[in-house]
Chains A and B, each alone.
Chain A
Amino acid sequence: MTEKIGVYVCHCGTNIAGIVDVEDVAKWAAEKLQRRGVVIARDYKFMCSSLGQELIEKDIKELGLTRVVVAACSPHLHEKTFRNACKNAGLNPYLCELVSIREQVSWVHTDKVVATEKSKAIVSGGVERVIWHEPLEPLRVPIHPATLVVGGGIAGIQAALEIADAGYHVYMVEREPSIGGHMAQFDKTFPTLDCSACILTPKMVDVGNHPNITLLTWAEVTNVDGYVGNFQATIRQKARCVNTELCTGCGICWEKCPKKVIDDVFEAGLGKRKAIYTPFPQAVPRYPVLDKANCTYFLKGTCKACEKFCPTGAIDFTQQDEFLQIDVGQIILATGWDLFDVRRMPQYGYGRLANVFTSLEFERLSNASGPTGGKIVLRDGVTPPASVAIVHCVGSRDKNYNPYCSSICCMQSLKFAHLVHERTGAEVYNCYIDIRTPSKGYEEFYQRLLEEGTHFIRGKVAEVTNAYRTPEEEGKLIVQVEDTLIGKQRRIPVDMVILSAGLEPRHDAKEVGRLFGISCSADGWYIERHPKLDPVATMTDGVYIAGVVQGPKDIPASVAQGAAAAARALGKIQQKEVAMEPIRATINEDKCSGCRMCNTLCPFNAILFHEDKMVSEVNPALCQGCGTCVAACPAGAISGTGFSNEQILAQLDGLLLLNIKRLEEIPA
């Protein structure tokens, strides 16, 4: 039985009609493809408009169309629109095909005659193809109402609280002993100079106390299986050696512990902690962890002071790592960032020259609960600096390291300048390329720093050296920079240099991303679904990203993204199920030889192998319809719904006008 096909050729204003003779194309289709099933062919100014869609709907109802071909823009834009129109009229939406004569014809050709002929061929291809289309139903999968939030920084905390407050369960997994992330390391936050801990800790406490949040710190996700709505995550709860049922967080164990270790995570290497510790006083949860690599008991078999003094007997040296399996519907990744390793730029002297500090080290210096009690002093721990230089753009905006701008360092450098003024009265020199202060209150903050008497030198610091040339320079760190606004090279002797180092993705971001099925851009940040219009979703349904993990940003933006990801997740949870595109691959069991070539090729790990039947099977919920397995299968056992061999070959036939040629050989 021949199908009844309707062909609709769009003018797209003058976008298409300016180059392609759209009326001719419609007329041609009606005439030449009539015997292939075309019962009506129309052209219209804007097919995507409601009037245009109504044309289609009317024809379906009145002419009993069984297939629709629309020749217009790219399917990326309006495939959904026309499918919906068909659905409204009672025709299965997958029986509609949108062929592009804009991106593929009118936008790339200038010869009108050629363009019109090409459009006819494309319409012909579409018609031949659509004959082979089958009615399809989207897959509906249920959404598990729990959500996994990976990363306990401010973005993760915000996301978790929003979901939990809405009444749904959240598992929060954090690698460090406490949540809080980098924000917990800061003293003040720009531009308001709010005390960081004062605004962060209430949220942290909320997370710790929330009945809907299961907080797992000192834990990592080791495996994720499943698909949107239905993930199974395996979490390794590392051994704290502390029984959290009994521990009250009193702190006697770490007080009594004799072993001091340099804390190069929270204290950025400036301070020490004990072998059993919580990273900072306001840690959530309060339970300490035991660092087995540095514990005297684990190294030598002696000590056990913590166990001896613990009033509740909560220390348990025999504790092992535990693995938990949880079921969640969606996952939010908010794993944050690492600081650029400034040792990659030896010209700034970090490590070689004592009083060169990184930004995180300075945050700890200025923090009231830091290793110096908030006193800004040199490495000797005693002397305050009389002059400080702050170097912007270390490792950022630099093709030799990271080409991107790290977004927050200008504001952070201004904040540092302010803190130095306030606490020491030292002379401060900010050496910058540009001052980037885009958000609310930021430019005003810069003005404030100007009024405070900060010396701003526009020039990227070339080197920091101790090779003095004059008696004034002796014993100082000399910052050599071109003051570009006056066009002269200057050597500025200072006591302390702070390097505003850039933000980088976590060193294991790639591996972690792979666990969750998401990929990293060239710079290493996770890739969002659309850089402008969809910054928190990823190409993997059900997995979202929030915070700096998506790209450098400040705290307000991280919080906003955390909330956005939560809103997305909540939206899906409320719908209880999600519809998935039926464009999938299916394996014909009879043809499958069990070679398993497709298993390893699938980029989404969507193909299972049944040992008993020796055949592979595609999991339709994970399959994204990329077509790799279809092409690779040596037995031709896999076909893609929506891209079957018959459909593709028919389209080629139509494109080459072989269908017309055949028709011409047969008498009408």
Chain B
Amino acid sequence: MAPKPSFGDEVANLLHAAEGNPLRTCIQCGTCSGSCPVVKFMDQTPRRIIGMINAGLKDEVLKTNTFWYCASCYQCTVRCPSGIDIAEAMYALKRYTMWKNQYKEGLIGPTFSETFVKTIVRSGRSYEPLLAPTYIFSYGIREFFSEALNATNLMLKGRIPILPPRIKRLENFRRMIAHIIPIGGVE
């Protein structure tokens, strides 16, 4: 029987197409976290996350907001001296937490992503109004009104779609998706 993969191996397996070097080649130099524009808002810096993965600290990693706060700007990836694709690793961690349904409480990212995917599966195109409920109530009263005002302004300028768009060959599209994952669920 094959040995159980380590957490590091699991993350590496989720990095299917990433061309970077393995996470274990990290020399902990900190260039990634030094370049990151969002690091101030993360529980642990990206470098620490890689260190924690290499140390096998799975639960601690999954509890952080780090990868859900990643903006995928890839500044870390292009500068990493070990050639590790850190931004992709962040994507892999997001997928991992979605798959295991184990992530920090209060994060908007997972629900938003799930809803987004459901929207596309339904119609083939994204539709902002359907996505609004995933975040509009999460930032407090003032933000809610501010966002509502923004949305109204955008609507007045003709920048928000009224009717949800759809692609024509939707049936084929859905069958195509069903080939990859069971339709109706995204886990």
Contact = CB atoms under 8 A, between A and B. Distances in A.
Q: Which of A459, A460, A461, A484 has the most CB of B within 10 A?
A: A460
Interface string A421-448: 0000000000001000000000000000
B79 interface: yes
Contact of A489 (B21, B34, B81): B34
Given A462-B35, A463-B34, A463-B35, A482 B45 contact: yes
A332 B29 CA distance: 38
Interface string B44-83: 1101100000000000000000000000000100010111
A397 interface: yes
B30 interface: yes
Contacts of A458: 30
A489 B29 CA distance: 12
A480 interface: yes
A399 B25 CA distance: 11
Given A459-B34, A462-B34, A487 B81 contact: no
Q: Which of A347, A393, A459 has the most CB of B within 10 A?
A: A459
B30 A459 contact: yes
B39 A482 contact: yes
A613 interface: no
Contacts of A461: 31, 34
B47 A484 contact: yes
B79 A489 contact: no
Contacts of A393: 29, 81
A50 interface: no
Contacts of B82: 399
Nearest to A488: B45
Contacts of A484: 28-30, 33, 45, 47
B34 A487 contact: no
B81 A460 contact: yes
Contacts, number: 69
Interface string B79-105: 101110000000000000000000000
A607 interface: no
Nearest to A400: B81
B40 interface: yes
A39 interface: no
A398 interface: yes
B132 interface: no
Contacts of B44: 487
Contacts of A398: 81
Nearest to B81: A398
Nearest to B25: A399
B108 interface: no
Interface residues of A, number: 21
B30, B31, B82, most chain A CB atoms within 10 A: B30
Interface in A433-479: 433, 458-463
Contact of B27 (A397, A463, A480, A489): A397
A481 interface: yes
A535 to B, nearest CB: 26
B30 A460 contact: yes
Contacts of B35: 462-463, 480
Given A433-B29, A482-B39, A484-B30, A462 B45 contact: no
A149 to B, nearest CB: 37
Nearest to B48: A487
A473 to B, nearest CB: 15
Interface in B1-48: 21, 27-36, 39-40, 44-45, 47-48
A394 to B, nearest CB: 11
Nearest to B33: A482
A461 B47 CA distance: 14
B34 A460 contact: yes
A347 B35 CA distance: 10
A462 B79 contact: yes
B45 A489 contact: yes
Contacts of A489: 33-34, 36, 39-40, 45
Interface of A: 347, 393, 397-400, 433, 458-463, 480-484, 487-489
Interface of B: 21, 27-36, 39-40, 44-45, 47-48, 75, 79, 81-83
14 contacts: A397-B29, A399-B81, A399-B83, A433-B27, A459-B31, A462-B33, A462-B35, A482-B33, A482-B34, A484-B29, A484-B30, A484-B47, A489-B34, A489-B45
Closest 9 CB pairs of A and B: A462-B34, A482-B33, A482-B30, A398-B81, A459-B30, A462-B35, A460-B29, A484-B30, A399-B83
Given A462-B33, A480-B34, A489-B40, 8 more contacts: A347-B79, A399-B82, A459-B30, A460-B34, A462-B79, A482-B31, A482-B39, A484-B47
